[in-house]
A and B are shown apart, each in its own frame.
Chain A
Amino acid sequence: MTRYGIIILAVVAILCGPGCGMKSPEDERRLAEKAFKDALSGKDCAREDFLAAEELLMKAREAVNAKRYDEAKKLFLSAKEKAEKIAAYVRSHPDECDPKVKKEKVAQRTAGVDDGAISEETLSSKDPNMKFPVIHFEFNEYAVREEDKPLLKIMAEWMVNFPAAAIRVEGHADERGSIDYNMSLGERRAQEVRDELMKLGVDAKRFQIVSYGEERPIASGQNEDAWFQNRRAEFVRVN
């Protein structure tokens, strides 16, 4: 009996290595925490993965506290994997994740789009034939961007100055994503624009809303500049 007992102990020791199941997984913890630190810049642009990694890390620490070391080890490994994925995403998507690059990019294309004809300076809300501004949106977003609010202010002034005018707000999406969902995105964009104008004192009755989804792009090409131009709300006078 004792001989068998020794053999079993020996086998367990060989299989597990020192401290198997009995020691806190410090190496795994260190690696996971380092990977998580490297993934911090993905907090916004890879938000869901980031939240998942954060949760895994939290659960792993809880497991350590409860001395469930095997479970903790697995959780640290998953957290590390998730964090590495986020870091890889951040590297391959500087447009979205690097705040500096993102800001430059937005400035560039805003300048590109508004170049010439339509900008706050060139619009006159006293001109009955004012060329209406075009409002642009971020990917998968329908909130009006701060930089477009001055354009809406002029549009509202124009509508106050010309109270007989009825306006159709046409919402559009870029070609990415489903045709079905993009029809709603276009609608929400047009609605948000209308709601902003209502806040500025324009009567809701003067608006019609229509979404064309991704069916009516104004720029061709499969790049962010074209997509940005296509994610838009336009004003059309209907009377």
Chain B
Amino acid sequence: MGLHFKYAVMFALLTALCGGTAHAQLKGEVRDGALVAYAIAAPAFVHSGDTTGELARALTETLRRDLDLTGYFQVLDERSFIEAPTVPVDKVNFKNWLTVGAKGLVKATLTGTDPIELEMQAFDVAGGKSILHKKYKASAKAIRKAPHGFVRDLVQALAGIRLKFLSSRIAFVEKEAKTYKLMVADFDGADATAVVTSDKILTLPGWSADGTHLFYTAYTTGEPHLYAVDIKSRKVSLVSDHPGLNTSASAAPDGKNIALRLSKDGNAEIYLMNLASKALTRLTSNIAIDTAPSFSPDGKEIAFVSNRSGNPHIYRLFVNDPARVERLTDQGKYNQDPDYAPDGRYIAFTGRDEFFMFDIFLFDLQARTISRVTQKQGKNENPSFSPDGALMVFSSDRTGKNGIWVTNLAGDRQRKIYGGTGEAITPSWSPEVTITQ
């Protein structure tokens, strides 16, 4: 889709790919996606002229945040650095970086005003060798996203893993007084914009399989109908307006179908809808509430919520044999909002614990165990996996107001990415997309 922006295509130059040792270094320290303290120094970006000072600071900040978010790096405090950031790459004394405990070093220089040229290079400090060298040329606006691609390529070079979240977006609803905004932001909370604004209820956004559209429910006519909005053109189209609830769309990986909750037959059930023909297949048949579908990555299963046992719990059904339903959670009394992980191993959900607190939990489909992700930090709800499964986004009111947070699966690295003037809720993480403009 439309790469018609003047500097849309950043041209990159890969001079040195991973040295075998560096590759093994980071890879060896990855344990189940758990945090790895690969200490990295990211000194301030160097810029020429006063006009790009603020941009240089913003880019430095973006790089450090990205490195931190991946979970693979421990970003060192610049106050401990010995060597000035302005030392050119060919004059770097690697001993200065070894002394401050850095295993890796990223240097970056900005030149020009608009377009901006940005050169970034990562080094293995012990070996004094270049790991990754890239040059970008883009508008002052578009260049802000260059660190995302650099960090993605750096992790790829060091660990052989593609972190898709570094090119992805997050959608959520922001509610303030009587105004509802359907928001889309980059995964780090940058460029948050309202794609739909309404004085009627907007709720429960979910991405299309290709990340170009958002499904959401709006009470535009007074009834909860399902719509889709093209996030680029902002064009809205009606998807489903059956009597009752039309909500909770989860895109099938094939892009042709969605699972959704309809109550047209008198009771909330999960249906499969073909997006082209609008033909429906009913998947659940139960007098209980069945809702909140989430497709498995292979499209064969759907995780959902049902209160058929008396309280809401997480179940899964098999699309080709929907009568085959399996209950997954048997702990707690109030488990909701399942989200199937991209690797198919986990289902994240919101659970209410014995102290009546709402928190994020993971159901491990292999081990059949539940682990806790958030605890004693306010109300945490609506988990949604990043497209690589490395992170989850969720809403939390731990700072008083609901904001959008991301966490690793272990829950020991939680970061706030968005906090606005309203209540930011029901986040949904996009598939991998191009986020540069």
CB pair A215 B305 closer than 8 Å: no
Extra inter-chain contacts (19) besides given A92-B355, A177-B358, A180-B248, CB under 8 Å: A47-B310, A140-B312, A177-B334, A179-B382, A180-B204, A180-B336, A180-B337, A183-B224, A183-B291, A184-B245, A184-B289, A188-B268, A188-B289, A209-B244, A210-B223, A210-B224, A211-B245, A212-B201, A215-B201
A168 closest partner in B (C-beta): B222
**What are 9 A-B contacts with C-beta separation under 8 Å?**
A47-B333, A89-B354, A140-B334, A178-B305, A181-B289, A184-B245, A188-B268, A188-B289, A215-B201
Known: A184-B289, A188-B289, A209-B244. Contact between A178 and B355, CB under 8 A? Answer: no
A104 sits at the interface (CB 8 A):
no
Known interface pairs A184-B263, A187-B244; A178-B336 also in contact (CB < 8 Å): yes
Complex alpha-carbon distance, A177 and B425, angstroms: 13
Q: Is there contact, CB below 8 Å, between B381 and A178?
A: yes
Least Cβ–Cβ distance between B108 and chain A, in angstroms: 42
Residue A176 at the chain B interface, CB threshold 8 Å: yes
B374 at the interface (CB under 8 A from A): no
Q: Known contacts A48-B311, A191-B266; is A181 also within 8 Å of B244 by CB? A: no
Per-position binary interface string of chain A over residues 142-185, scored 1 when its CB falls under 8 Å from any chain B CB and 0 otherwise: 00000000000000000000000000000000001111110111
B residues 328-361 touching A (CB-CB < 8 Å): 330, 332-334, 336-337, 350, 352, 354-356, 358
Within 8 A of A (CB), among B191-241: 201, 203-204, 219, 222-224
**B426 smallest CB distance to A (angstroms):** 6
How close is B113's CB to chain A, nearest CB, in angstroms? 45
Residues of B contacting A185 with CB < 8 Å?
289
Q: Are B291 and A213 in contact (CB under 8 A)?
A: no
Contact B201 A180 (CB under 8 A): no
* B311-A140 in contact (CB<8A): yes
Chain A residues whose C-beta falls within 8 Å of the C-beta of B222 in the assembled complex:
210
Interface size class of B (residues with CB under 8 A): 35 or more
What CA separation (Å) do A187 and B219 show in the bound complex?
14
Contacts of B223 in A (CB 8 A): 210
Interface digits, A202-239 against B, CB 8 Å rule (1 contact, 0 not)?
Answer: 00000001111101000000000000000000000000
Q: Which residues of A contact B311 (CB under 8 A)?
A: 48, 140
Chain B at the A interface: SS class: loop
Shortest CB–CB separation between residue A206 and chain B, in angstroms? 15
Majority SS at the chain A contact face: helix
The closest CB in chain A to the CB of B349 belongs to A178
Q: Which of B224, B292, B332, B336 contacts A211 (CB 8 A)?
A: B224
Q: Does A109 belong to the interface (CB within 8 Å)?
A: no
Partner of B268, one of A47, A176, A184: A184
Instruction: Report chain B residues within 8 Å CB of A213.
Output: 203
Chain B residues near A210 (CB-CB < 8 A)? 222-224
3 cross-chain pairs, A with B, having the tightest CB-CB distances, nearest first: A178-B336, A184-B289, A184-B268
The one of B224, B266, B292 that contacts A181, using a Cβ cutoff of 8 Å = B292
Chain B residue contacts of A180, Cβ below 8 A = 204, 247-248, 261, 291-292, 305, 336-337
B291:A184 contact, CB within 8 angstroms: yes
Nearest B residue to A86 via CB reads B354
A131 in the interface (beta carbon within 8 A): no
Judge whether A105 is part of the interface by a CB distance below 8 angstroms: no
Question: A181 near B354 (CB under 8 angstroms)?
Answer: no
A112-136 CB contact bits vs B (8 Å, 1 = yes)? Answer: 0000000000000000000000000
A179 / chain B contacts, CB cutoff of 8 Å: 203-204, 382, 425-426
Q: How far is the CA of A181 from the CA of B336 in the complex (A)?
A: 7
**Considering the chains assembled together, what is the distance between the CA atoms of A99 and B330 in angstroms?**
26
Q: A59 near B: Cβ within 8 Å?
A: no
> Across the two chains, which residue of chain B brings its CB closest to A216?
B201
Compute how far the CA of A215 lies from the CA of B334 in the bound complex, rounded to whole angstroms: 20
Q: A43 contacts the other chain (Cβ, under 8 Å)? A: no
CB distance from A134 to the nearest CB of B (A): 20
- Give the Cβ gap from A158 to chain B, nearest Cβ, in Å: 24
Q: Point out the residues of chain B lying under 8 angstroms from A93, CB to CB.
A: 356
Residue A68 interfacial (CB < 8 Å): no
Contacts A85-B354, A188-B289; A178 near B337 (Cβ below 8 A)? yes
Specify the chain A residue showing the minimal Cβ separation from B331.
Answer: A48
B337: chain A residues within 8 A (beta carbon) = 178, 180-181
Chain A residues within 8 Å of B291, by CB: 180-181, 183-184
Instruction: With both chains docked as a complex, state the minimum distance between the C-beta of B244 and any C-beta of chain A, in angstroms.
Output: 7
Q: Are A178 and B382 in contact (CB under 8 A)?
A: yes
A47 to B292, CA, bound (A): 25
B234-261 vs A, CB cutoff 8 Å, 1 = contact: the mask equals: 0000000000110110000000000001
Beyond A140-B334, A179-B425, A181-B312, is A187–B203 a contact (Cβ under 8 Å)? no
